[in-house]
Structure 1
Amino acid sequence: MANTGRGQGLRGRGDECEQLRRLLSSARSGSGQVLVLRGEAGGGKTALLEYLIAQARGFSVTHVAGVESDMELAFAGLQQLCSPLMTHVDGLPEPQRDALAVAFGRGVGPVPDRFLVGLAVLSLLAAAAEQQPLLCVIDDAQWLDQVSTQVLGFVARRLLAEPVALVFAARDHGAEVLHGLPELEVGGLSDSDARELLDSVVLGRIDERVRDRIIAETRGIPLAVLEVPRNVSVAELIGGFETSTTRPSAGHVEESFVRRIASLPRDTRLLVLAAAAEPVGDAGLLLRAAAALDIPVDALAPAEAAGVIEFGPRIRFHHPLVRSAAYRAADLADRRAVHRALAEVTDPQLDPDRRAWHAANAALSPDDEVAAELEASAGRAQSRGGIAAAATFLERAVALSADPRLRGARALVAARAKCDAAAYEAAYELLAIAELSPLSELQRAEMARLRAQMEFTRGRGGEPGAPQVSAAAADLIDAARRLQTIDDESAREAHLEALAAAMYASQCAPPGALVAAAESARHAIDNAADPHRPTDLLLSGMADLITGGLTDGADRLRTALESWCTHAQRNDGEALRWLSLAFPIVQESATGELWDDEIMHRLATAMVRNARDAGALATLPSALAFRAGVHVLAGEFDDAATLLEEADAISAATNHKPVKYHRLHLSAWRGNPDETAALIDVATDMASAKGEGRLLGLTGYTTAILHNGLGQYEEAFAGARRTCASNDLGFSGWCLVEMTEAAAHLGERDAAEDAVARLERRAADSGTDWGLGALAGAQALLADNEEADALFTEAIKRLERTRVVTQLARTQLRYGEWLRRSHHTTEARKHLGRAHETFSRMGAQAFAERARRELVAAGEKVRRQPMRSGDELTSQESQIARLAADGLTNQEIGAQLFLSTHTVEWHLRKVFVKLGISSRRQLRTLT
């Protein structure tokens, strides 16, 4: 079925209508539903949405349509959608309620993360749906402001057990953030349906050949067919006796509206233009604008008669394309006149941002006063979390700045905002404007730093045409050095970024690049007046570690990490900023080089809690991945997998690339050769393409873990040798243990001794049970009988006092193997049995099988058992069950996992059924 105008039916859309009815039925039964209608302009998406709304009996309905001229106002679309639901806002948790209030300009407070706003909207929809199902309809989603689209995309990916349907309509190449959601393609009608539609709107006979030509030209696009009576003469319809040059094809539907509007009287056209430029449809505002333009209100009558616009309490266009046609068809002078009138009549207190935007569009030439208003609007947008809107306001302010110094300063700030909004092309253009302006030395240094940051981010993201990570790392070092004599604090932050970038570049960077970065950072710290912040201590400690070894850097690193944890526990906001500044790579590497499992555990826990509490979903996936890595070392593979799945889900919901490092590490420990080999191949190709040498180093380390577990020591030796040569901080020291084991099994004595010597230099000074236990276990592989026995015993005792269960089980396995070969069979069976039990429990398939083979060789009868794969609970169910067992309420669990309370309840009901229990008290005894 097709749109035949309001009040008429639909044709040829039987399948689409059936899918929409099923969607409503599923939502009515409590299953959250999401659908994106995709198609070209005029294809009937709006008609299908109207059909959906008409069918939604028993639903509450909230509806918003994106407006092109409103795209720059942060949260404008979201606020309109949520406005009818705000009576439920008091029931939201306080952080969500506050985030929503700030985002909608109803309160003041710190800038809310847009995805915390998303969680608030999710909770709001769930609350509104408690009494009756809720239908949310978003038409012309390609014209929503960017932050509203991002938030709704996030909400759509988290809907599950709520009686809510979220339905979008968007053009084929718009609203990219919605890609990946369920879609329904809305194409042209079939020839037969298009003929029926044409016959229904044309009075009299149509020549068959003319009809066929019209159907072919319109390609069945409903709106193009509906416009035929307005664009094709009766003579041509009857027999083709005239030649029309204005018939609307699918690509010219909007042009037909342009022609219709152009035929109206001038005053009418100006009022239609004013309505098109005023996105809210406020009839009172339009009346005031008409007065400012000295046009009588009855001038709208011809537009109503022509089916262009409907005048009522809200101004409504016949079709969204009419609005865009009215605006685009107007000449520049008329647009400016209309925007000037709208700026005059828009209340500067109630709606200062829209007033500033109208004033900007009315400006004939640079105007510093209007530019200042736009700058203020950008500040308000940024305070609400509308980074993209702030960037657009600033970009326009740049164009209107008459003062060259102000123009350059604003261009630099706008470029930063565009970068934060991932609009890199626009950011580069603004940097070019700034570069031609009279900037201060500090501003030019900041510009160099911003350019280097963008190049590095694009390189890591693998964007086409982006420089390799190694090249971007060099630019960051240069930018940091440039700042050193100008702004001491900014220089140290830039050096920390440069050091992190050099660590990512690793073996793909020129030789000595990491050391050069560390030496430059050391110089910056030495010249600093008061380097007391955790980031300063972290930078100093890492620089000392790289240039002088663990002895030089350990104390500062430990102090830095302890201080960071303290700040994180206070939730003072600084911890998150420092985390994003240094990337998790520096903190992770520091804990790895310290061989300190306790500080690693505390740091990872604090990172996740801090990111969750702040709703910082841009940072949370990395924090979750770091926490997953801690679980892997502890042998808690199911917990690690749960966190990695959550990280991937959030990355998908926020349109970011998923985290790869710790998934590769987990897969290697689980010991599935096919899965791990596939991940290694993908990571190798990706690392080579991006110039990210650290990822190449990780592939060697994980290759060594996998093949040592499988007893394939040549492959393990080759992988370990690659990684140990690259010296990737954080895990190359751990890889020396893999190198020693593989070399010892192959009889590569010299290589094994070299690995142990290098391990001693990196672990002996740690003073931790993990570091000293790992060293003793490696030394035991090369020692004589009595010394080996003592070293193995020391290693096991030390590792038993740590959280690093994987290495404890590995050491028990090696000790058991050594005892069996030394003919101490009874003792060997004891240690091999412990190792086998631990590996089986954690799901380390390859190592468990290696321990089983040794047990059989020692005379123990051990059956092959299927590896533990966790309970029948899914990873998310397991996570919710643990949090519930810890005493968290459903609302608290939802806040932690960015789920609605209804979804948590739904998961818990499934948990109870699967575990055969009926209460949380029973849950505490099982988790």
Structure 2
Amino acid sequence: MIGRDSEFGELTALLDSARRGEGASVLVSGEAGIGKSLLASAAVETASSAGLGVLSCRGIRGAGAAGFEGLHELLLPLLDRVDALPPRQRTALEVAFGAEGEPADRLIAGLAALGLLEKATAASPIMVLVEDLHWLDRSTAEIVTFLASRMGDMPVLLVATTRVDPVYPDHRLHFGHHLPLAPLSEEDALNLIDGRAPAMTTQQRHRLVAYARGNPLALTEWSADPSWTEEPPPIERSRLPMGKRLEDSFLAEVALLPRATRRALLVAAAGEGASSHEVIRAARNLGLDRGDFAPAESFGLITLTGDTYRFRHPLVASAVYDNADSDARARVHAELAVVIDDAVRAVQHRAAAAVGWDENVARELEVLAVATGRRGARTEAAATWRRSVALTPVAAERARRTVMAAEAARQAGATADAAVLLAEAMPVVHDEGSLVQAARTELLIATTSTALQGRRGDELVELSRTLSDPADRLEILIWAAVRSYLRQDSSAEITRAVIDELGRPDLAVTEEQRVLQGIGLALISPADRITSAEKALSIFQGRVRDSDATLLNCLAFAVEDTDDLTEAVRVWTAEIDIFHRSARTSDETVAIAGRGTVHVTANEIAAGLADSEHALRLSSDLGMSVVGALAAANIARARAWRGEQELATSALETCTELSGLMPVARVEAVASWASAQMAANERRPDEALVHLLKSVEHPPIGIWAGGDLADVAVRVGRPEAVEGWLSMATTALASSDSDHLAMLVERSRALLTPGSAARDHFEQAIRRGERTTAHLDLARTRLFFGEWLRRDRRIMEARDHLAAALQVFEAHHAAPLARRTAQELRAAGGGERSQPAKSFDAGSVLTAQELHVARLAAEGYTNKQIADRVYLSHRTVGVHLYKAYAKLQISRRSQLASVLEGVLD
């Protein structure tokens, strides 16, 4: 290689690090012909000579309709190790490769691929080469980028090559290293020409260097033909992109071949990736024979490598294919479709051959799209649906398939594309099935991303009235309630219309429908409550469709609205188990985030932090911005409880970034509550009051956040600011009788009541609080009571409450409240307390994820079972446990249970 010493040195250094167990990933990028493949090949040669194993796959232009083709090529040498994977990861990989079963989220398939790499490194370090990442099927590309961000702790170097072009995805952020290949310097370019064409004159060399612009492929190709340098190129030609100029030079070379050979090259280009036997059979059907490939082989444009024809450079294939007329391409694809054995590729060629409408091919593509989606290749399924739409002649069928394309795009995480497809379909959709599916897709997008607002409740009511199927009418009305609940932006008139329509006694016929109706009404109607969460959960045990997942989440929200936080945690946990068993990682992530919010509200800070950090990690992997924003807001709230202001600020910044321009009301409310806690920690009660009042505007969160209002409102002289929340909370207590909420209400009344009458409210608040597990809110109540008692000169009584509060705050690491309480205790004459040496606290030295893994290990789960449960690789679980042992100063798994026994919540 010439002029690539620095880049090659960086790769060899990374290879050396991988041999020592310090893995990495590097993306080699540049324009066509810049030398990416040559550099990667040199790295492979170095790796092989150093004893590293090599795994590789290659993207092929126009391939990838079925998805996971590249992944199968990459992992084929390792598939004999698949039984060593955790069960769900093994199943996810098998389904991706065509076995029967339910498709898993791409996260599980990614973990399976990571697990296989980990197993393979037990034999030797590995280099993974992914060539032409820009052409790799999207499902594989997603897993490659997943792997690229996780190479740090393994003896693996992952190298991927990609073109720099706005039409291709930009994967740089996923790789630890980026190696952009720049054009060669003039000196290096001249050295390359010296080696290739020593007979060239000085003038020819300099003219070629100027024209090739440092592109090694251009220098190599054009140095072989001095005619390129005899005259300066036309100005307009010099301005063409390098890829186009190289293609033109290849076409000039192809033009020298016999006509039959040019046609044979077109068959090979259109059938790139097919076997040579298939290509030759298709050529014969077009009146050609094997001998027609020989002149191209003599020119070095194409070679027979193994069982496949390989072009000298991908630009040769693209030049041949793109320069052919559409009729010639269609004839070639039609013949390839006849001879290719693989059904998926055959359909792909029939689609490429189709001109204008073709319902037969459109129907075949629909079947392929369904099958591809069932394997979990959702991006490819969406693309296949779109191609089916383009070939569909009947408007009604075209609309139906467009709706299905939108749903497939939503499942693939391409919410913006899904929204565009829905906008195309909605004006022309008339059949009920498509109308319902469109509404379902629309609401699923609106509840998990900021790409779409969705229709208002009254619009959904109008839609329901046009439907003849009672089950469809019920579903749409439930969606209207869900939308109204989550957005909290419906007018009283719209809300009333939804309640009236959804509450009709003749709407629900079966027991299941009545349960679903109850969930919808509980979300939107204050007069309706969930009567049996157990019965509601039971109807989802045997099925979990996409729409069911949202209804399950709304069931948990409805239970939260009964103000029974313990029951809400139980329902969220049951949902997590349901989603986990059915490998629905995205839905499980939503439920984990939901449970984390309730945990923190219920004062279970460590559990809430573990759930929220888990949900944030998963949402990042799955591209679920709204869920990630909620998790981040809740992390900020948990950190604020502990006084970890910098960490809380960072979490709120993450929340803002993920929320986008249209933040969800629930996320805004939790974030405002966190901001209020942070402001209170820094003794800025006026700012805390503003944030709390904003949080109270969202009743499901505000009913609990409002419990903090009275303290800051009194401090800034605005006790009237509490009245609205106090009225809302009192109304809620009339039907829920929650001891936790009652404590907050009585405490607030105590803080607002002048004179001795406040005592009765404080004592009532403490009595209700002692019936709960809300230890922090109870301790805060004791703190406020202690402050009141000290001002009332009841010093001894004040000390008792303050000392009890301080003990709880210290045990839960609630540093700001602990400082405030200690200061108040000193003012009450409590002095400096002499305490026994503090016992070792596992909860304070482990990260939330380490604590989560350690607890599961202590409960008897194996590393494989833990990996399956928390969506980590087997090796990563081992690393977390290794770090936990060191931090906990233990050496055996059997010691975990005792050392974790005292960790709170």
TM over 0.5: yes
Q: Which residue of 2 aligns with 1:18?
A: 9
Say whether the 8 Å CA contact 2:461–2:480 is kept in structure 1. Answer: yes
Task: Kindly state the Cα deviation for residue 272 of structure 1 after the two structures are TM-superposed.
Answer: 2.1
Task: Kindly state the Cα deviation for residue 853 of structure 1 after the two structures are TM-superposed.
Answer: 1.8
Matched residue of 1:619: which SS?
helix
Task: Kindly state the Cα deviation for residue 822 of structure 1 after the two structures are TM-superposed.
Answer: 2.4
The one of 370, 388, 392 aligned to 1:397: 388
Matched residue of 1:537: which SS?
helix
Q: Which residue of 1 aligns with 2:42?
A: 51
Q: Which residue of 2 aligns with 1:762?
A: 732
Say whether the 8 Å CA contact 1:820–1:828 is kept in structure 2. Answer: yes
Task: Kindly state the Cα deviation for residue 663 of structure 1 after the two structures are TM-superposed.
Answer: 2.7
Question: 1:601 and 2:569 equivalent?
Answer: yes
Deviation by residue 1:261-310 (Cα, 9 ceiling, x = unmatched) = 34332322222222222243412222222222221102111111222211
The one of 188, 192, 195 aligned to 2:183: 188
Question: 1:893 and 2:834 equivalent?
Answer: no
The AA in structure 2 aligned to 1:91 is A
Matched residue of 1:917: which SS?
coil
Q: Which residue of 2 aligns with 1:3?
A: none
Residues 751 and 61 (structure 1 numbering): CA distance in 2 closer, same or farther, change over 3 Å? Answer: closer
Q: Which residue of 2 aligns with 1:5?
A: none
The one of 267, 275, 285 aligned to 2:260: 267
Task: Kindly state the Cα deviation for residue 913 of structure 1 after the two structures are TM-superposed.
Answer: 2.7
Q: Separation in 1 of the partners of 2:275 and 2:604? A: 58
The one of 91, 97, 115 aligned to 1:98: 91
Matched residue of 1:741: which SS?
helix
Task: Kindly state the Cα deviation for residue 836 of structure 1 after the two structures are TM-superposed.
Answer: 2.2
Say whether the 8 Å CA contact 1:431–1:447 is kept in structure 2. Answer: yes
Q: Which residue of 2 aligns with 1:883?
A: 856
Q: Separation in 1 of the partners of 2:834 and 2:403? A: 64
The AA in structure 1 aligned to 2:188 is D
Question: 1:912 and 2:885 equivalent?
Answer: yes
The AA in structure 1 aligned to 2:359 is D
Deviation by residue 1:220-276 (Cα, 9 ceiling, x = unmatched) = 22222222225542762xxx5898997896342233233333433232222222222
Q: Which residue of 2 aligns with 1:494?
A: 476
Counterparts of 1:167-566 in structure 2 under 5 Å?
A: 167-172=159-164, 173=166, 174-176=168-170, 179-182=173-176, 183-208=178-203, 210-230=204-224, 232-233=226-227, 236=230, 250-251=242-243, 252-313=245-306, 314-347=308-341, 351-423=342-414, 427=418, 430-431=421-422, 434=425, 439-444=430-435, 446-447=437-438, 450=441, 456=446, 460-461=449-450, 469=453, 472-474=454-456, 477-486=458-467, 487-506=469-488, 509=489, 511-512=491-492, 515-516=495-496, 518-519=498-499, 522-523=502-503, 527-530=507-510, 532=512, 535-545=516-526, 552-554=527-529, 556=530, 559=532, 561-563=533-535, 565-566=537-538
Residues 231 and 422 (structure 1 numbering): CA distance in 2 closer, same or farther, change over 3 Å? Answer: farther
Q: Separation in 2 of the partners of 1:824 and 1:227? A: 95
Matched residue of 1:95: which SS?
helix
TM-score (norm 1): 0.87
Q: Separation in 1 of the partners of 2:820 and 2:466? A: 58
The one of 122, 125, 140 aligned to 1:148: 140
Q: Separation in 1 of the partners of 2:256 and 2:409? A: 41
TM-score (norm 2): 0.89
Counterparts of 1:5-84 in structure 2 under 5 Å?
A: 10-57=1-48, 58-84=51-77
Q: Which residue of 2 aligns with 1:621?
A: 589
Deviates more, 1:358-367 or 1:227-236: 227-236
Say whether the 8 Å CA contact 2:786–2:802 is kept in structure 1. Answer: yes
Say whether the 8 Å CA contact 2:200–2:226 is kept in structure 1. Answer: no
The one of 88, 101, 115 aligned to 1:109: 101
Residues 310 and 431 (structure 1 numbering): CA distance in 2 closer, same or farther, change over 3 Å? Answer: same
Deviates more, 1:292-301 or 1:444-453: 444-453
Say whether the 8 Å CA contact 1:521–1:540 is kept in structure 2. Answer: no
Q: Which residue of 2 aligns with 1:670?
A: 642
Identity of aligned residues (%): 30
Deviates more, 1:167-176 or 1:431-440: 431-440
Task: Kindly state the Cα deviation for residue 319 of structure 1 after the two structures are TM-superposed.
Answer: 1.9
Matched residue of 2:56: which SS?
strand
Matched residue of 2:62: which SS?
helix
Task: Kindly state the Cα deviation for residue 806 of structure 1 after the two structures are TM-superposed.
Answer: 2.8
Task: Kindly state the Cα deviation for residue 678 of structure 1 after the two structures are TM-superposed.
Answer: 7.2
Residues 99 and 749 (structure 1 numbering): CA distance in 2 closer, same or farther, change over 3 Å? Answer: closer
Q: Which residue of 2 aligns with 1:803?
A: 773
Task: Kindly state the Cα deviation for residue 344 of structure 1 after the two structures are TM-superposed.
Answer: 0.7
The AA in structure 2 aligned to 1:855 is L
Deviation by residue 1:729-749 (Cα, 9 ceiling, x = unmatched) = 321111332222333444545
Q: Which residue of 2 aligns with 1:633?
A: 601
Residues 276 and 913 (structure 1 numbering): CA distance in 2 closer, same or farther, change over 3 Å? Answer: same
Q: Which residue of 1 aligns with 2:813?
A: 843
Unaligned runs of 5+ in 2: 901-905
Deviation by residue 1:48-104 (Cα, 9 ceiling, x = unmatched) = 211121111322222111112113222122122122221112222332222222211
Q: Which residue of 2 aligns with 1:771?
A: 741
Question: 1:163 and 2:158 equivalent?
Answer: no
Q: How many residues align?
A: 883
Matched residue of 2:525: which SS?
helix
The AA in structure 1 aligned to 2:125 is P
Deviates more, 1:813-822 or 1:335-344: 813-822
The AA in structure 2 aligned to 1:190 is S
Matched residue of 1:899: which SS?
coil
Say whether the 8 Å CA contact 1:828–1:858 is kept in structure 2. Answer: yes
Q: Separation in 1 of the partners of 2:495 and 2:738? A: 26
Say whether the 8 Å CA contact 2:208–2:229 is kept in structure 1. Answer: no
Matched residue of 1:286: which SS?
helix
Matched residue of 1:68: which SS?
coil
Q: Separation in 1 of the partners of 2:818 and 2:81? A: 54
Counterparts of 1:101-140 in structure 2 under 5 Å?
A: 101-105=94-98, 107-140=99-132
Q: Which residue of 2 aligns with 1:701?
A: 673
Task: Kindly state the Cα deviation for residue 422 of structure 1 after the two structures are TM-superposed.
Answer: 4.3
Q: Which residue of 1 aligns with 2:903?
A: none
Q: Which residue of 2 aligns with 1:7?
A: none
Q: Separation in 1 of the partners of 2:605 and 2:834? A: 20
Residues 653 and 216 (structure 1 numbering): CA distance in 2 closer, same or farther, change over 3 Å? Answer: farther
Question: 1:718 and 2:690 equivalent?
Answer: yes
Say whether the 8 Å CA contact 1:492–1:524 is kept in structure 2. Answer: no
Say whether the 8 Å CA contact 2:858–2:897 is kept in structure 1. Answer: yes
The one of 636, 640, 645 aligned to 2:613: 645
Q: Separation in 2 of the partners of 1:137 and 1:84? A: 14
Deviates more, 1:85-94 or 1:906-915: 906-915
The AA in structure 1 aligned to 2:127 is L
Task: Kindly state the Cα deviation for residue 358 of structure 1 after the two structures are TM-superposed.
Answer: 0.9
Matched residue of 1:398: which SS?
helix
The AA in structure 1 aligned to 2:528 is G
Q: Separation in 2 of the partners of 1:78 and 1:22? A: 27
Residues 665 and 194 (structure 1 numbering): CA distance in 2 closer, same or farther, change over 3 Å? Answer: same
Matched residue of 1:70: which SS?
coil
Residues 215 and 21 (structure 1 numbering): CA distance in 2 closer, same or farther, change over 3 Å? Answer: same
